[in-house]
C-alpha cells in the first residue's frame, strides 16, 4: 500500500463524543425510524449500484503481460567486448510487456504500454518509458515513447537469424525507435554530464485497411527546449501484403536520430511459399553518422526453408559499401527447431570486419 494512500483510509471505529439522547413523542419516533429505514435502503442501493459500476469497469478493462525469455551461448571472434575480453559468454534476456486497455461504448480502444527488461550484464531490470495509444476503425495513434514509422516497417528485420535475432543485412543507419533501455542520452554542454532526454516526445499515426498499412511518425528529442544541432525526426512507411504470399515494404526517414541531413530510405519485397519458407530482397540507404562517416548502401538477399515439420534453416547474404568496412560482404546461416511453445535456434555469421560470430540457445514466448 502506498504511503500517499495511507492517510485517506477511514478506520472501522470512530472515537466520537457520545451525546445525550433526546426523548421524542412516540409518533415522531416511528417517523424517524421509517426515515432511517428509507435512508438505509437508499444507502444500500447506492452502494450496490456503485459496486456494480466498479465491477463493470473491471470487467471492461484488460491488462495483459506478454514477452519472451531466451538464453544461450554467444561467440564473438576477438572478444565479445573487444580486445582482452572473452570470446564466448552466456547471454540471457527476459522481456515483459504490460499492456492495459479499455473500450468505450462507441468502439474506441484506449491503452498504454510499459516494458520491463533484463539483459545479462545489466545491474538492474530496466523499466522503459511508457506510451499511450487510441485506436478505432483501423486508425491508431501512439504518444510518448512510441514506435516509429521507419523502425516499424514490415520487412526491415526479416533477414535476422539465430537465437539473438541478429543480421549484418539490417539497416546500419542511426534512427529513433521504441526505447527499451530508457530515453536516448546526450552530453550536457553545461557540465559535460551524460543526461537522459526526459522531454523526448514521439508520435506515431498508423492506418490499416485490408492488406495495406500506412504509418507516419515524428520524434522531438526535446519538446521543452531547443538543443543545438538536434533536429526533429520524421518517418513514413507503407506495407502491403497480397494473398498472404507477396509482401512489399517501403520506408523513408528525414534527419534520423535528430541528426541534420541524416536521411535514409528502405525498400523490400518477399515471396512466401508457406509459413516457414520464403525468399526476400532488401535495400537500405543507411545515411551518415554524426561525424560525417558514410554508412553506404546495403543490399540483402535472405530466405528460409522448412526442411522437416519442425526444422527450418535460414540465411542471408549482404553487401554494403560503407567507408569503414574491412570487406563489403557479410553472410550468415542459421537453423531453428520448434519445441512447441519454445524453440532451439543457432547461427554462424561473418561481418564487415571479417570476424566470425555464432550463437546457440533456447527461447520461449508468452
Q: What does the alpha-carbon distance between residue 219 and residue 143 come to, in Å, rounded to a whole number?
A: 10
| CA contacts within 13 A on the Cβ side of 244 | 5
Which three three-digit cell numbers place residue 109? 480502444
DSSP secondary structure code for residue 17 in this structure: -
Q: What does the alpha-carbon distance between residue 195 and residue 222 come to, in Å, rounded to a whole number?
A: 12
Greatest distance between any 2 Cα atoms in the chain:
105
Short-list 80, 99, 294, 37, CA closest to 166: 80
Short-list 114, 118, 116, CA closest to 71: 118
- What is the pLDDT, as a whole number, of residue 314? 98
- What is the pLDDT, as a whole number, of residue 281? 98
- What is the bridge-based pairing of β-strands 109-119 and 126-127? antiparallel
Residue 36 host element (H or E):
helix 26-60
Which three three-digit cell numbers place residue 353? 570486419
Other CB atoms closer than 10 Å to residue 70's CB: what's the count?
21
Q: Could you tell me which residues come within 8 angstroms of residue 145 by beta carbon, excluding any fewer than 6 positions away?
A: 128, 129, 130, 131, 178, 179, 183, 200, 202
Q: What does the alpha-carbon distance between residue 76 and residue 164 come to, in Å, rounded to a whole number?
A: 13
- What is the pLDDT, as a whole number, of residue 192? 57
pLDDT by 10s per residue, the chain, length 366 = 444 443 333 333 333 333 333 333 333 333 444 445 445 555 555 555 555 555 454 445 799 999 999 999 999 999 999 889 999 999 999 999 999 999 999 999 999 999 999 999 999 999 999 999 999 999 999 999 999 999 999 999 999 999 999 999 999 999 999 999 988 876 655 565 667 788 999 999 999 999 999 999 999 999 998 766 689 999 999 999 999 999 999 999 999 999 999 999 999 999 999 999 999 999 999 998 777 778 999 999 999 999 999 999 999 999 999 988 999 999 999 999 999 999 999 999 999 999 999 999 999 999
Which three three-digit cell numbers place residue 128? 522503459
Distances (CA, A) of 94 to 67, 116, 117, 309, 329: 8, 8, 6, 28, 33
- What is the pLDDT, as a whole number, of residue 13? 33
Extended beta strands in 5-159, E state: 62-76, 88-103, 109-119, 126-127, 131-136, 139-144
- What is the pLDDT, as a whole number, of residue 288? 82
Amino acid at each position: 500500500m502506498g504511503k500517499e494512500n495511507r492517510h485517506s483510509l477511514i478506520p472501522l471505529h470512530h472515537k466520537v463524543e457520545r451525546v445525550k439522547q433526546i426523548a421524542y413523542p412516540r409518533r415522531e419516533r416511528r417517523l424517524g425510524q421509517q426515515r432511517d429505514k428509507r435512508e438505509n435502503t437508499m444507502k444500500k442501493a447506492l452502494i450496490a449500484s456503485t459496486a456494480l459500476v466498479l465491477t463493470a469497469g473491471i470487467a471492461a478493462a484488460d491488462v495483459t503481460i506478454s514477452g519472451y525469455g531466451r538464453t544461450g551461448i554467444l561467440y564473438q571472434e576477438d572478444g565479445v567486448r573487444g580486445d582482452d575480453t572473452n570470446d564466448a559468454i552466456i547471454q540471457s534476456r527476459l522481456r515483459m510487456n504490460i499492456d492495459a486497455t479499455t473500450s468505450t461504448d462507441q468502439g474506441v480502444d484506449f491503452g498504454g504500454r510499459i516494458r520491463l527488461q533484463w539483459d545479462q550484464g545489466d545491474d538492474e531490470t530496466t523499466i522503459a518509458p511508457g506510451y499511450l495509444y487510441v485506436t478505432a476503425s483501423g486508425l491508431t495513434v501512439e504518444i510518448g515513447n512510441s514506435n516509429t514509422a521507419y523502425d516499424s516497417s514490415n520487412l526491415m528485420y526479416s533477414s535476422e537469424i539465430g537465437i539473438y535475432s541478429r543480421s549484418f543485412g539490417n539497416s546500419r543507419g542511426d534512427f529513433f525507435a521504441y526505447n527499451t533501455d530508457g530515453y536516448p542520452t546526450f552530453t550536457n554542454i553545461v557540465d559535460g554530464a551524460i543526461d537522459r532526454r526526459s522531454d523526448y516526445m514521439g508520435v506515431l499515426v498508423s492506418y490499416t485497411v485490408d492488406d495495406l498499412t500506412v504509418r507516419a511518425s515524428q520524434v522531438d528529442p526535446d519538446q521543452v527546449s531547443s538543443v543545438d544541432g538536434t533536429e526533429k525526426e520524421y518517418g513514413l512507411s507503407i506495407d502491403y501484403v497480397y494473398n498472404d504470399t507477396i509482401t512489399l515494404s517501403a520506408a523513408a526517414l528525414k534527419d534520423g536520430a535528430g541528426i541534420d541531413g541524416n536521411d535514409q530510405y528502405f525498400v523490400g519485397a518477399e515471396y512466401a511459399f508457406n509459413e516457414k519458407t520464403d525468399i526476400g530482397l532488401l535495400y537500405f540507404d543507411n545515411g551518415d553518422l554524426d561525424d560525417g562517416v558514410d554508412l553506404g548502401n546495403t543490399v540483402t538477399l535472405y530466405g528460409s526453408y522448412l526442411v522437416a515439420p519442425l526444422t527450418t534453416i535460414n540465411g542471408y547474404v549482404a553487401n554494403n559499401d560503407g567507408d569503414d568496412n574491412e570487406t563489403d560482404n557479410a553472410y550468415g546461416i542459421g537453423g531453428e527447431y520448434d519445441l512447441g511453445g519454445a524453440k532451439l535456434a543457432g547461427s554462424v555469421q561473418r561481418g564487415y570486419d571479417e570476424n566470425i560470430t555464432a550463437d546457440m540457445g533456447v527461447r520461449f514466448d508468452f
